[in-house]
A = this chain, B = another copy of it.
Amino acid sequence: MQPQGKIVPVILAGGTGTRLWPLSRNSLPKQFLALVSDNTLYQDTLLRVPPGDDFLPPIVVTNTDFRFFARRQASEVGIEAVVVLEPARRDSAPALLAAAAVAQQIHGADCLVLALAADHVVKDVAAFQAAVQAAARVAASGRIVTFGIAPDGPRTAYGYIRPGAALAEGGHTVDAFVEKPDRGTAAGYVADGYLWNSGNFLFPAALMISEAERFEPELTGAALGAVARAGTDLGFLRLDPESFAAAPAKSIDFAVLEHTKLAAVVAGDFGWSDIGAWDAVREIGAPDADGNVTAGPVTLRDSHDSYVRSDGPLVTGIGLAGISVVATEDAVLVMPSDRAQEVKQLVASLKAARHNAADEHVKVHRPWGTYQTICRGERFHVKKIVVDPGATLSLQKHHHRAEHWVVVQGTAEVTVEDKVFAVHENESTYIPLGGVHRLANPGRIPLEVIEVQTGSYLGEDDIVRLEDAYDRC
């Protein structure tokens, strides 16, 4: 076996956590939200495996919709990630195998890969890193290591692992992976020393690929082919769509872990949670004397054991007991905390009823920054636009609307037809209906513009892009 070297973190960041609606939505899911600290879950995941003595620069796997979040949020915490784009959703096995192949291309065939979900919480980073080092010794002996978590109770929301024989390098073999149990079964598992299956892994890239080739040759071939024929696109590594599409959707557990004889488990106790639903978010929070966990503008009266969070309005409660309330600017969710798993079904029904708030956030992220509707009338629409320093919107025109722009922070470089001019703070300009125009921020601070659109049709689809730095023409 190869000597143990630095580890390549692979961060899987393509998921959409609808159980944490209304905060997590398709357009900006859980991993890219600051749910439990000032950083997003993805940023905290990156910071847990910082490039340095122990770790090589990370490889992030995500999809096209999230590519700018992945790059921007990494760079906000000072980390340069290789961002790999999945052309389609195929569950974790194809993504993880493709990332392993990319890791080999960059760091050599013998590299060790640490595969982490981007949306988990780890409270004790030192204990986590110690567990990674322990797992690396086991992996280097020719094992695919999974991280098992010592249960704090008979949870039914997690899969379990039955450890087998102790290994000389540390950890244990795996006797069995078992599905999410009912409560009685879970209590038995805990009594019998089972561990939670965290869904995070450490393995030699070559070993994972060779095992996958044995059990899932078609899937593995598709994933490796997608890497071999990948292209780069604005600095992203875009997996070949045709190759990748041929891979069946399968989790790495089903594809490899449950079949290989080389699985091992290393037990960890580092304050882990997959914060799969609001009850889990409450559990990792700091309760007050009445057992309430609150975040944002919240006032409670005679309430206990409740979770109340607002990212918008003032939220008040009287006599709440075991209730969860989550509020954003455009949506509110109220439920007994033990019904948190049903949010998934609720969101499905909202999607079926075509509620905007099911998928979209009020603030819409774009490669160049963000925009947010702040007022809407029948024949007008007011937005706040924030353009990142150095960023440029597409050269565009609209058939049905005119636009007034008032710069309220920074300096805009505005193109209208063949004129290019600066608009400073407290100045305004006007884009007539049909006028070819472009907005850019040549400065060093974010540019903030209030845009007042007027016209007979104000849909986002009334846009003709003539030139775009982000290939959206």
Contact = CB atoms under 8 A, between A and B. Distances in A.
B346 A299 contact: yes
Interface in A333-365: 333-336, 339, 342-343, 345-346, 349-350, 353, 355, 357
Contacts of A186: none
Interface in A417-473: 425-426, 428, 430, 448, 450, 452, 454
A194 to B, nearest CB: 30
A328 interface: yes
Interface in A255-283: none
A101 to B, nearest CB: 43
A137 interface: no
B314 A313 contact: no
Interface in A300-322: 301-302, 310, 312-320
Contacts of A140: none
Nearest to A333: B316
Given A313-B331, A318-B335, 7 more contacts: A314-B331, A315-B334, A318-B333, A325-B332, A374-B375, A379-B409, A380-B409
Nearest to A455: B426
A179 interface: no
B428 A454 contact: no
A330 B320 CA distance: 20
Q: Which of A310, A318, A379, A402 has the most CB of B within 10 A?
A: A318
A389 B300 CA distance: 43
A384 B452 CA distance: 11
A246 interface: no
Copies of this chain in the oligomer? 2
A328 B357 CA distance: 16
Interface of A: 22, 297, 299, 301-302, 310, 312-320, 323, 325, 327-336, 339, 342-343, 345-346, 349-350, 353, 355, 357, 374-375, 377, 379-380, 382, 384, 402, 404, 406, 408-409, 425-426, 428, 430, 448, 450, 452, 454
A405 to B, nearest CB: 10
A382 B332 contact: no
6 contacts: A314-B350, A314-B357, A379-B409, A380-B409, A380-B448, A402-B426
Contacts of A409: 377, 379-380
The 10 closest A-B pairs by CB, nearest first: A380-B408, A318-B335, A374-B375, A406-B452, A319-B339, A426-B454, A314-B331, A374-B374, A315-B332, A317-B334
Contacts of A357: 313-314
B379 A346 contact: no
Contact of A301 (B331, B342, B374): B342
Nearest to A433: B426
B408 A301 contact: no
A442 to B, nearest CB: 20
A310 to B, nearest CB: 8
B350 A332 contact: no
A299 B22 CA distance: 13
A299 B349 contact: yes
Contacts of A430: 428
Contact of A332 (B316, B320, B349): B316
A119 B139 CA distance: 74
Contacts of A428: 404, 428, 430, 452
Nearest to A452: B406
A377 to B, nearest CB: 6
